[in-house]
């Protein structure tokens, strides 16, 4: 969206990433949770997914709303099912070599830095701001501001890249950041026309960041 690229805006020095469904493919982790939740019921996987998409189109957290709709318990999350998107490391390396400082702003359970390390991605990040360690979660602006303090940057010098309009794009734009919406996972169903603060760019996968930066 827009003609110029972020790289032409010389004040941008920091790029912050969400983790789930942005750097890391959570498809099988969600599917595992859903299969566990509907086990022993007459609810089909397809029925659940249809309702999940219905709520996502309302810019809600589709899986949690679907669980509530069907009266199901939230089952454990299987982190072993998470896997970085194939292009994640290549894109991070590209951005780092271009001279950008990279950070994470994510709603994650304890151990985000360790998981990033296990995936071979931690080396690219100068700042990791995760909700479990910080005690505050997106879309609360406090987690963004903590990340700015750690990075020593202003909002206007930073870009947020994430899959969720509600958790990533809107709060970032409100603070004065640039924002890139990565349409991956079930957030692809979210409705950009329903929000006041629009992303500066919309992309279908991480590799498209190379065309922006």
Does 47 share its domain with 149? no
Does 35 share its domain with 138? no
CA 112 to chain centroid:
13
Q: Number of structural domains, the chain?
A: 2
Does 199 share its domain with 166? yes
pLDDT of residue 7: 52
1 in a structural domain: no
- Of the residues 64, 79, 94, the one at which a domain ends: 79
Structure tokens at 73: 């318990």
pLDDT of residue 5: 61
Structural domain of residue 73, as residue ranges? 27-79
- Dihedral over alpha carbons 69, 19, 140, 53 (to 10 degrees): -20
| Residue among 138, 135, 140, 171 at smallest CA distance from 155 | 171
94 in a structural domain: yes
Per-residue pLDDT of the chain (213 residues), as tens digits, is 444 566 555 699 999 999 999 999 999 999 999 999 999 999 999 999 999 999 999 998 899 999 999 999 999 999 999 999 999 999 999 999 999 999 999 999 999 999 999 999 999 999 999 999 999 999 999 999 999 999 999 999 999 999 999 999 999 999 999 999 999 998 899 999 999 999 999 999 999 999 999
pLDDT of residue 21: 97
Contact predicate 100/213, CB 8 Å: yes
How far apart CA 175 and CA 185 sit, in angstroms, is: 25
- Of the residues 45, 62, 79, the one at which a domain ends: 79
pLDDT of residue 187: 86
195 in a structural domain: yes
Does 91 share its domain with 17? yes
DSSP the chain: --SS-GGG-TT--EEEE--BTTTEE-HHHHHHHHHHHHTTSS--HHHHHHHHHHHHTTTS-HHHHHHHHHTPPPPPP-GGG-EE-TTHHHHHHHHHHTT-EEEEEE---S-HHHHHHHTT-GGG-SEEEEHHHHT--TTSHHHHHHHHHHHT--GGGEEEEES-IIIIIHHHHHHT-EEEEE--GGGGGS-GGG-SS--SEEESSGGGHHHH-
How far apart CA 79 and CA 210 sit, in angstroms, is: 29
């Amino acid at each position: 969206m827009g003609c110029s690229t972020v790289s032409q805006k010389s004040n941008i020095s920091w790029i912050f990433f969400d983790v789930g469904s942005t750097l890391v493919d959570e498809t099988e982790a969600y599917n595992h949770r859903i299969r566990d939740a509907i086990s022993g019921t007459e609810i089909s996987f397809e029925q659940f997914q249809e309702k999940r998409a219905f709520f996502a189109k309302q810019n809600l957290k589709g899986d949690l709303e679907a669980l509530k709709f069907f009266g199901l318990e939230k089952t454990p999350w299987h982190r072993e099912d998470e896997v970085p998107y194939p292009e994640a490391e290549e894109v991070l390396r590209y951005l780092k070599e271009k001279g950008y400082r990279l950070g994470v702003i994510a709603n994650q359970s304890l151990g985000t830095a360790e998981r990033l390390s296990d995936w071979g991605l931690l080396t690219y990040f100068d700042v990791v701001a995760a909700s479990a360690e910080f005690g505050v979660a997106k879309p609360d602006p406090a987690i963004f501001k903590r990340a700015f303090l750690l990075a020593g940057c202003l909002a206007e010098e930073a870009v947020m890249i994430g899959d969720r309009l509600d958790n990533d794009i809107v709060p970032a734009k409100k603070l004065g950041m640039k924002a890139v919406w990565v349409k991956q996972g079930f957030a692809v169903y979210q409705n950009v026309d329903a929000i006041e603060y629009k992303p500066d760019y919309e992309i279908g996968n991480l590799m498209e960041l190379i065309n922006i930066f």
